[in-house]
C-alpha cells in the first residue's frame, strides 16, 4: 500500500490486518479548529442551528409590529417594501458570507472590519455593536412585556390600572440572563424549540389566511389597488421595515462553532433572510387581503392580532399573541447570546480588558460578558422608549453592514495571502457597493434623535479606543 512509506514513523511496529494508522491532523476549519498550542476546538453547530439563530434573531419585530404601520404607508404594496428589504439584506448577506468563510472566527462583523480596515473602525464597530445589541435586546423585551399585557387582556385577566409591561420585561430580562448564566444546555435547546413552535403557528396562520384571501372559504377578499399611494412610499416604507431584517449577520458571530463553515455559513445567512422575507411578504398579503390598508393602519401595532381574530375569533387572536411572545423571546435570547460573543470578540483583542472574557469553570459560562449584556439591557428596559431603542439598534447595525461591504471590497483589492474564502460573491464590487450605499441610505431615513444617539455612541467608542487601546494593531492580523 502506498501509505506504507509515509507511515514509516509508526511502521516499526508490526501493523497487520487493518489499514495502517495514517495520522491525519484534523481537517482544519471543517470539523474542528486547532489553536496555536495544539488544542482542538470542536465545531458543533450545523446548518439548521445556524438558520435557527438567523431566523430567531430576525423574526421578533417584523411580523408583529410592522404590518399595520407598513400597510398604512404603502397599501398592499407594503409587501413589495418587505421584498425590497429582503433584497438589501441579501446584498449585505452575500459579502458577509464571503468574509465569514475566509475568517470563520467568532466575532462576526467586528472581526472582519478590524482585520480589513484596521483597529479604529474595528473598535468603533465592535463597541457600538455591543451597545446596538443591548438596545435591540431591550426593544425585544419591551415587546415581550406588551404581548404579555395583551394576552392577559385577551384572556380577560383583570390587572387593574397597574402598569405591567415594564415589570414583565424586566423580570424576563433577568430570567433570560440567569438562564444563560447557569443553564448548561437549556439556552440553546430553548432557542430551537421556541423558533420551531413559532414557525409552526405562523405557517398555520399564513396558510389559513392565504386560502381565505383566495376565496376558498367563500368570502370575498377586499379588492384594493396594489399601490394606492404611488411608488415612492413603497421605498420609504422599505426603509421603515428594514429593522425586521437586522440579525442575519448574527450567524457570523458563531462562525467559530459552525461545522463546515465554507458551506454552512453562506447557506445559513442567505436561507434565513429568504425564509423571513417570504414570511413577511406572505403576512402583508394575508393582512391586506383581510382588511383594507386604512383599517389596518388604524389598528396600528396590533393589526396582525385583529387579522387573526377576523379568521377564527379570539382563539386566533390568542394564538397569534402567543406567537408574538415566542418571537420576542427568541429574538431577545439570541441577542443576549450575540452580545456576549461581541464582548468576547473585542476583549480577546484587548480593546476592552481581557477580564471581560473570563468564564467560570463550574457552569462553563462566560459570566462577565453575559452580565455586560444583561445589565445595561435592564437599564434601557426601565427607560422604555421602544421606538428610539429599535432605531438606535438599527442605526448601529446599519453602520456595521455598510462597513462590512467596504471591508469586502478592500479585502478583494488587497487580497492578502491568507485570504481564501470558500465562497466568492459574484460581481463583488456591484453587490457590496450597492449593499454599502443602501445601508448608509437607510440611516438617513431615521428620526434625528436616533441618529444623534447613534453618532454619540460611535464617538464614545472611538474615544475609548484612543484612551485605552490605541496601541492595538489588528489590520491583517489573523
Considering only residues 75 through 134, tell me which ones interact with other proteins, judged by CB under 8 A. Answer: 105-106
Q: Does 220 bind other proteins (CB under 8 A)?
A: no
| The Cα angle at residue 238 between residues 232 and 240, in degrees rounded to 5 | 110
Q: Does 178 bind other proteins (CB under 8 A)?
A: no
The DSSP H or E segment spanning 41 is strand 40-42
| The Cα angle at residue 352 between residues 350 and 355, in degrees rounded to 5 | 85
Give the nearest distance from C-beta 97 to other proteins in angstroms: 20
One of 5, 9, 38, 160 touching other proteins (CB under 8 A):
38
C-alpha cell at 134: 443591548
Give the nearest distance from C-beta 16 to other proteins in angstroms: 4
Nearest by Cα to 227 from 284, 302, 275: 284
Considering only residues 356 through 375, tell me which ones interact with other proteins, judged by CB under 8 A. Answer: 357-359, 361, 363-366, 370
One of 6, 8, 28, 44 touching other proteins (CB under 8 A):
44
Give the nearest distance from C-beta 308 to other proteins in angstroms: 33
Give the nearest distance from C-beta 134 to other proteins in angstroms: 17
Give the nearest distance from C-beta 348 to other proteins in angstroms: 7
- Residue 334 to residues 136, 194, 248, Cα–Cα distance (Å): 10, 11, 11
HSE, side-chain direction, 13 A CA sphere, residue 351: 29
User: Contact, 386 vs 189, CB < 8 A?
Assistant: no
C-alpha cell at 120: 479604529
Instruction: Round to whole Å and give the CA distance between 340 and 231.
Output: 41
One of 23, 157, 158, 162 touching other proteins (CB under 8 A):
23
Binding span for other proteins by CB under 8 A among 62-70, 118-126, 194-202, 251-259 = 251-259
Nearer to other proteins, 164 or 179 (CB): 179
Instruction: Round to whole Å and give the CA distance between 478 and 471.
Output: 17
Binding span for other proteins by CB under 8 A among 20-28, 120-128, 138-146, 438-446 = 20-28
Q: Does 47 bind other proteins (CB under 8 A)?
A: no
Considering only residues 393 through 452, tell me which ones interact with other proteins, judged by CB under 8 A. Answer: none
Give the nearest distance from C-beta 242 to other proteins in angstroms: 28
**34 DSSP β-pair partners:** 40
Size of the site for other proteins (CB under 8 A): 52
DSSP track, 300-326: GGGHHHHHHHHHHHHHHHHHHHHHHHH
Nearer to other proteins, 190 or 434 (CB): 190
Size (the chain), residues: 478
Count each helix (H run) and each strand (E run) in the chain, helices first. 15, 2
Give the nearest distance from C-beta 478 to other proteins in angstroms: 13
Binding span for other proteins by CB under 8 A among 25-33, 120-128, 398-406, 418-426 = 25-33
Using CB under 8 A as the criterion, what x/- string covers residues 184-213 for binding other proteins?
xx-xx-------------------------
One of 42, 387, 415, 420 touching other proteins (CB under 8 A):
42
Nearer to other proteins, 247 or 454 (CB): 247
HSE, side-chain direction, 13 A CA sphere, residue 76: 16
Instruction: Round to whole Å and give the CA distance between 122 and 104.
Output: 17
Give the nearest distance from C-beta 226 to other proteins in angstroms: 45
Nearer to other proteins, 234 or 351 (CB): 351
One of 183, 210, 292, 384 touching other proteins (CB under 8 A):
183
| The Cα angle at residue 137 between residues 133 and 140, in degrees rounded to 5 | 140
Nearer to other proteins, 53 or 323 (CB): 53
Considering only residues 336 through 355, tell me which ones interact with other proteins, judged by CB under 8 A. Answer: 337, 340-341, 344, 348
Dihedral of alpha carbons 378, 379, 385, 390, sign: negative
Instruction: Round to whole Å and give the CA distance between 7 and 22.
Output: 6
Nearer to other proteins, 107 or 324 (CB): 107
Considering only residues 257 through 276, tell me which ones interact with other proteins, judged by CB under 8 A. Answer: 257
Nearer to other proteins, 16 or 220 (CB): 16
Instruction: Round to whole Å and give the CA distance between 62 and 202.
Output: 13
Nearer to other proteins, 33 or 146 (CB): 33
Binding site for other proteins (CB under 8 A): 1, 4, 13-24, 26, 31-33, 35, 37-42, 44-45, 105-106, 180, 183-185, 187-188, 254, 256-257, 337, 340-341, 344, 348, 357-359, 361, 363-366, 370
Amino acid at each position: 500500500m502506498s501509505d506504507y512509506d509515509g507511515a514509516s514513523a509508526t511502521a516499526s511496529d508490526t501493523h497487520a490486518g487493518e489499514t495502517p494508522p495514517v495520522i491525519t491532523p484534523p481537517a482544519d476549519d471543517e470539523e474542528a479548529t486547532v489553536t496555536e498550542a495544539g488544542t482542538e476546538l470542536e465545531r458543533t453547530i450545523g446548518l439548521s442551528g445556524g438558520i435557527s439563530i438567523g431566523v430567531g434573531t430576525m423574526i421578533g419585530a417584523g411580523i408583529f409590529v410592522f404590518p399595520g404601520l407598513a400597510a398604512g404607508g404603502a397599501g398592499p404594496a407594503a409587501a413589495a417594501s418587505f421584498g425590497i428589504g429582503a433584497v438589501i439584506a441579501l446584498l449585505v448577506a452575500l459579502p458577509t458570507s464571503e468574509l465569514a468563510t475566509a475568517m470563520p472566527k467568532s466575532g462576526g462583523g467586528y472581526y472582519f472590519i478590524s482585520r480589513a480596515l484596521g483597529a479604529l473602525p474595528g473598535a468603533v464597530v465592535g463597541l457600538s455593536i455591543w451597545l446596538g445589541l443591548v438596545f435591540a435586546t431591550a426593544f425585544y423585551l419591551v415587546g415581550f412585556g406588551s404581548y404579555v399585557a395583551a394576552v392577559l387582556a385577551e384572556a380577560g385577566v383583570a390587572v387593574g390600572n397597574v402598569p405591567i409591561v415594564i415589570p414583565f420585561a424586566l423580570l424576563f430580562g433577568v430570567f433570560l440572563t440567569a438562564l444563560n448564566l447557569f443553564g448548561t444546555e437549556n439556552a440553546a435547546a430553548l432557542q430551537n424549540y421556541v423558533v420551531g413552535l413559532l414557525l409552526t403557528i405562523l405557517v398555520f396562520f399564513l396558510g389559513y389566511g392565504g386560502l381565505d384571501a383566495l376565496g376558498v372559504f367563500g368570502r370575498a377578499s377586499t379588492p384594493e389597488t396594489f399601490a394606492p399611494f404611488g411608488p415612492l412610499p413603497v421605498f420609504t416604507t422599505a426603509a421603515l421595515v428594514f429593522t425586521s431584517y437586522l440579525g442575519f449577520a448574527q450567524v457570523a458571530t458563531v462562525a467559530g462553532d459552525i461545522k463546515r463553515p465554507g458551506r454552512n455559513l453562506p447557506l445559513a445567512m442567505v436561507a434565513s433572510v429568504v425564509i423571513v422575507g417570504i414570511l413577511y411578504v406572505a403576512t402583508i398579503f394575508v393582512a391586506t387581503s383581510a382588511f383594507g390598508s386604512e383599517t389596518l393602519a388604524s389598528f396600528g401595532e396590533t393589526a396582525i392580532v385583529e387579522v387573526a381574530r377576523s379568521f377564527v375569533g379570539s382563539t386566533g387572536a390568542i394564538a397569534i399573541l402567543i406567537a408574538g411572545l415566542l418571537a420576542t423571546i427568541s429574538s431577545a435570547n439570541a441577542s443576549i447570546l450575540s452580545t456576549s460573543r461581541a464582548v468576547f470578540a473585542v476583549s480577546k483583542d484587548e480593546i476592552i480588558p481581557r477580564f471581560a472574557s473570563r468564564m467560570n469553570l463550574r457552569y462553563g459560562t462566560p459570566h462577565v460578558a453575559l452580565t455586560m449584556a444583561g445589565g445595561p439591557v435592564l437599564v434601557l428596559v426601565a427607560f422604555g422608549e421602544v421606538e428610539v431603542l429599535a432605531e438606535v439598534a438599527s442605526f448601529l447595525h446599519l453602520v456595521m453592514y455598510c462597513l462590512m461591504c467596504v471591508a469586502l471590497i478592500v479585502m478583494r483589492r488587497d487580497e492578502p495571502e491568507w485570504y481564501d474564502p470558500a465562497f466568492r460573491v459574484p460581481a463583488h464590487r456591484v453587490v457590496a457597493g450597492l449593499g454599502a450605499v443602501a445601508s448608509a441610505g437607510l440611516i438617513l431615513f431615521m428620526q434625528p434623535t436616533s441618529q444623534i444617539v447613534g453618532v454619540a455612541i460611535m464617538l464614545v467608542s472611538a474615544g475609548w479606543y484612543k484612551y485605552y487601546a490605541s496601541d492595538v494593531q489588528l489590520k491583517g492580523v489573523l
